[in-house]
Structure 1
């Protein structure tokens, strides 16, 4: 007999029940629904398990899956792999990225790992790379790291002093792969309608190459009133799914559509081996930060852009 009730919907549970042959098995996940005759438990990989109450031997709520400590260095690189630039080059393990000037992430040095040479010489090579392409010399740096302070000592300064820090946040799919309140369509390639919502105005020339360049990416959309009104992008790198490009038509905001897009993308990632999710948000964007925090995302690190120009 179930020890659960409708009050436990949305919480993590364990359900021991009998299969058709009589053998016992356990299912752990989030309670998705609870009816008169059955309940549904959603596994971390998004698979729903429907169980007859008459087959339940024992069931109870359990604490949320704890967030394991983040390997910040690994996540720092993972975010770059999830949204690759049009052109890349290396100084040792440091990554140089160029995308015709579109977005800071696509046109900046990512100083992750060992450059193989001294920091001063590595920074000189980075400047030469961007000078050759007519781009400003930018470096995306993790705050509070010794390397960032070393780069500053070589004359690199805040490129965007008026902008607040960018937070990279993370969570487990258990917390964010609930069934969306809207029907979310997910494709492996975006169409013109997707791009028309993702961008206000003309689509930058480099955008398709950047957005579609990841080895495994997905493009989600929600259609209301006969047209696409919300979109977002997901990318898989190992067991991480990165969420970005979430945008809702201004006329349809404050209706939970952005959350629906995010849930649709994390549900896409679960069956592919996704277990954790990350996203980025400018710290001064209080509304987005509140939404993501309420969904279970927590800060992993902060970054800024430095420039040598």
Structure 2
């Protein structure tokens, strides 16, 4: 593969190759390769196929340094990666409802201009959730103006006994190494995937939420004849969102969660992925340590506020 092999798929490479009139260098992400052709995706998303017979040199290049993230953009991206069953708007503020399953799927996302005084927007949100017999909650980025404004209207911490949620990010270059285990990827989850993802029966709305993204992949690892680890990835622009990671009891602390993240990262690269995010409770020290070792860093923290 002209100096490159399967371990380099998903990583940035430079390929020097012949073109009419001379030589040129192409820098991009290696999507695939065989003895005849290298497929490289340039940063402008154009995919180039280069005959290996024309390649004079090819090698991987260092990972890009982790640039500061646009937290306002990422705040919205996380909502698009896992859409709720039902949505509505108050100005730019997003109201989400999913029959009560998960905080993200049943909370106000205050991003942008609500188009009216904050108190009036919150009253509309209260009415939206009252109609659905759900508690009115808002997912607020800690330290943001919206956090301060909503608290000033009397909303309080909905989960005082729970730690902050960290939203962590990194580039795919940091996490797309070849997994230690064989990670199977499908467009739609099977019954065995759901059985591994939940301790008991899956909530009725779970398929609508988990399978609702336009472009998603469902990862699993099978050991001893059973699916013992699962995870989900969803593409929003160049962002890969990773969630629903669960490793069955008895198989933990063996690197299965890491392998799931790596498998999803390698899936995302050929789909235009460049960066990735995930969410984890700050109190989950083991998971935070694992993700930090993979190269993830904190982008922001959030909590849920409630009107009651």
For the aligned pair, the TM-score class normalised by the smaller chain equals 0.7 to 0.9
Q: 1:140 to 1:58 in 2, by over 3 A?
A: closer
The equivalent of 2:101 in structure 1 is 102
Distance in 2 separating the partners of 1:298 and 1:109: 25
- Contact 1:28 1:41 (C-alpha < 8 Å) held by counterparts: no
- Residue aligning to 1:249: 248
Judge conservation of contact 2:218–2:230 (CA < 8 Å) in 1: yes
What residue is the counterpart of 1:78 in the other structure? 77
Instruction: Give the corresponding residue for 1:149.
Output: 148
Equivalent runs, 1:8-87 vs 2, <5 Å: 17=16, 24-26=23-25, 63-87=62-86
Q: Does 1:206 align with 2:205?
A: yes
1:167 partner SS:
strand
Mind listing any 5+ residue stretches in structure 2 that lack a counterpart? 31-37
Give the number of aligned pairs.
296
Q: Structure 2 matches for 1:109-124, cutoff 5 A?
A: 109-124=108-123
Distance 1:268 1:245 in 2: 16
Q: Give the whole-Å Cα distance in 2 for the aligned partners of 1:176 and 1:44.
A: 19
What secondary structure, in the 3-state scheme, does the structure 1 residue paired with 2:69 have?
coil
Task: State which drifts further: 221-230 or 121-130.
Answer: 221-230
Task: Give yes or no for contact 2:165–2:282 (8 Å, CA) kept in 1.
Answer: yes
Provide the TM-score with structure 2 as the length reference: 0.85
CA distance in 1, matches of 2:51, 2:224: 36
The two structures have a TM-score, normalised by structure 1, of: 0.85
Distance in 1, matches of 2:260 and 2:120, equals 44
CA contact (8 A) 1:44 1:177 kept: no
SS in 2 for 1:247: strand
Aligned to 1:261: 260
- Report the alpha carbon displacement of residue 69 of structure 1 after superposing the two structures with TM: 2.3
For residues 85 and 108 of structure 2, what CA distance do their matches in structure 1 show?
14
Cα distance in 1 for residues equivalent to 2:278 and 2:167:
6
Contact 2:101 / 2:203 at 8 angstroms: preserved in 1? yes
8 Å contact kept, 1:44–1:275: no
Structural mapping, 1:153-192, within 5 Å: 153-192=152-191
Structural RMSD (CA)? 3.4
